[in-house]
Chains A and B, each alone.
Chain A
Amino acid sequence: MSTATPPPVRRLPLTGTDARVVSPAEQQTVVLPGGAGAAPSFVSAPRRKVGASPLAIDRMQVDRLSIAYGSKLAVREVSLPIRQGEVLALIGPSGCGKTTLLRSLNRLTELTKTASMKGRVLLDDEDIATLEPTALRRRVTMVFQQPNPFPMSVFDNVAYVLREQASRRPRKAALQGAVRSALERAGLYDEVAGDLAHPALRLSGGQQQRLCIARALAADPEVLLLDEPCSALDPASTQVIEELIVALREQVAIVIVTHNLQQAYRIADRVAFMYLGELVEYGPAEQVFGSPREARTREYVSGGFG
């Protein structure tokens, strides 16, 4: 475990309750000051987490960030914090800039040649523009819409992240523990433990996506970005992954882009509603869904457009 040991953990100790699913009866009543009639029907539905949220710590700070593709502005002066202990959901209609914002957090936007950026993003008070992209992307990892395990075994998918660039070292034996722990954190270990040499592309869609989460967790990141991770999955797999996300939020800061408002409501602690590149509203999930301050938010969450 010499070279494979992840970088020193920058994680702070957290206290908090375990995530659990509760029945509607157990649910705290959401207080809706004012526009109760505007609240969408799912606002009283069960959520995957209740009770006191774990202690939240700022990990990233987006500071007046603007991103343009050529002359087209995709994200306009967005500022918001990203906290460990909370799930932040980015919602909004297609083309509103939420995926661009997500991709800018680990500088994947730079892969698009025409993209340009203004403003700052801080990760633990460091400007991410000053970090090596490869180092940054190990601290802020990402899971994509389509499950995309690499064409190798389950074990190697995770080990690939732990090894130095294209190296095949360290060998399997030295990585066993780290791979197992990543698979366990992604809730996949029990299903694949019997055959870690199984080709990853032969797993089911939901398993593939959890393998992708395991892969993203293997780098021991501070922030986990999820770009519509359930949109290609069946309801059962979606439920497993939603529970996983809620359980993981104590260990890493989580940002999820989703088109599915019910999903955002079920799992998010904070919600950011974006429209035409602007951050229209940011706040606790109960407030954004239950009593939105902005008219555009209210219209969107109640199904008026998007």
Chain B
Amino acid sequence: MLFLAVTAAIVLYMMVQGIRYVRPELFVTPPAQGASEAASGGFLDPLLGTVIVALMAMAIAFPLGLAIGVWLSEYGNPGWLARLTESTVEMLAGSPSIVFALFGTLLFEQGALSFLSRTNDGVVYGRSFFAAAAMLSLIALPLIVANVREGLQAIPGHVREASYAVGKTRIATTRRVLLPAARPSVVTGAMLGVGRIIGDTAIIVILLGATLRFNGAGELPLLSTLKGTGSTLTTFVYQNAPTGEINQPEKAFAAGFVLLSMVLALNFAVDVAARRGRRWR
């Protein structure tokens, strides 16, 4: 009861505070340097940044997680490799994202990966949307793997056999029967993964630079943004919080409200996805 009351209080307080400060123009105004709430602009760039990292990280994590989940559930041999994969995924799930962030800086500062970020006088900066998305995909991966696997394993064995028993291969069975049957779980995994990504702060601060606005690198229009630095709603809240560098709490509450709404909407979508889907008796 206490737990419920505390949770409800937090959500309600954040919502009320957010609604007080959120204004439509914040969504379309880029952040600006300014010493007051009025002069410091909106959160257009962080909002877009959140969407970009979510899309990029999911573009890596979803296919990979789907493949690993299917392999673990439907193939799983040799057994030692399956067990190793399983414990690796579990280890990813249990690791703090700041560790991935730190590792990411080492990785993306390597000369061989210089094409993914800004280079100054031969020094690879190592911070970009590419770098952040690559590491963010690792924190989404375990959720996708676990849900895909769970969904597939909930399908009774005789359903697989029914497909084999009319001459279908394992691949055809997986594509046409098992994955469609497991779709609610696959969608759930993907949405939980997105939730983890848009809620992460450590990787954004360290690997995306958490700059006020997009800070492109290079000439090509879209690529320059992705090679450059930026921020997301989480780091925007972090910097605008009373303890942050910018300290504009009203902006922080407004952005926090948007972030919270996105996460709540995702959770709701997960519920809907999980409830849909028909089962064998």
Binding site for B on A (CB under 8 A): 106, 108, 111, 133-138, 141-142, 144-148, 150-152, 160-161, 165-166, 199, 201-202, 205, 212, 215-216, 218-219, 225, 232
Contact indicator B159/A219 (Cβ below 8 Å): no
Complex CA gap A145/B281 in Å reads 12
How far is it, in angstroms, between the C-alpha of A151 and the C-alpha of B181 when the chains are bound? 6
Q: How far is the CB of B181 from chain A (nearest CB, A)?
A: 5
Do the beta carbons of A165 and B162 come within 8 Å of each other? no
A215 to B280 CA separation, bound complex (whole angstroms): 17
Given that A166-B172, A166-B176, A232-B281 are contacting pairs, would A148 and B164 also be in contact in the complex, using a CB cutoff of 8 Å? no
A137 touches B164 (CB 8 A): yes
Chain B, range 134-192, C-beta contacts under 8 Å to A:
156, 158-159, 161-169, 171-172, 175-177, 180-181
Query: 18 more A-B contacts (CB under 8 A) besides A134-B169, A136-B167, A146-B156?
Result: A108-B165, A111-B161, A133-B167, A137-B164, A137-B167, A138-B166, A146-B281, A147-B280, A147-B281, A150-B162, A150-B181, A151-B181, A160-B163, A160-B168, A160-B176, A165-B169, A199-B278, A218-B166
Q: Are B165 and A151 in contact (CB under 8 A)?
A: no
Determine the distance from Cα of A147 to Cα of B277 in the docked complex, in whole angstroms. 17
Kindly state the separation between the CA atoms of A160 and B163 in the bound complex, as whole angstroms. 9
| A201 cross-chain contacts in B, Cβ below 8 A | 278-280
CB distance from B157 to the nearest CB of A (A): 9
A148–B166 contact, CB under 8 A? Answer: no
Q: If the complex has contacts A138-B167, A165-B172, A199-B278, are A144 and B162 also in contact, measured as CB distance less than 8 A?
A: yes
Is there an interface contact between B166 and A151, defined as CB atoms closer than 8 Å?
no
B169, B180, B281: which contacts A151 (Cβ < 8 A)?
B180
In the assembly, what is the distance between CA of A135 and CA of B167, in Å?
Answer: 6
Interface bits B254-281 vs A (CB < 8 Å: 1, else 0)? 0000000000000000000000011111
B residues apposed to A, CB below 8 Å: 156, 158-159, 161-169, 171-172, 175-177, 180-181, 277-281
A108 pairs with B166, CB closer than 8 A? no
Task: Name B's interface SS.
Answer: helix
With contacts defined as CB atoms under 8 Å apart, how many contacts are there between chain A and chain B in the complex?
87
* A151→B177 contact, CB < 8 A: yes
Contact B278 A212 (CB under 8 A): no
Contact of B278 among A166, A202, A232 (CB under 8 A): A202
The 4 closest A-B pairs by CB, nearest first: A138-B167, A166-B172, A142-B165, A165-B172
Min C-beta distance of B66 to chain A, whole Å: 15
Which residues of A lie under 8 Å from residue B167 when comparing CB positions? 133-138, 141, 161, 219
Q: Which residues of B contact A202 (CB under 8 A)?
A: 278
Q: Would B166 and A145 count as touching, CB distance under 8 A?
A: no
Other-chain contact of A166, B161, B164, B171 (Cβ < 8 Å): B171
Nearest opposing residue in chain A for B182, CB measure: A151
A152 touches B180 (CB 8 A): yes
Q: Contact between A146 and B158 (Cβ–Cβ < 8 Å)?
A: yes
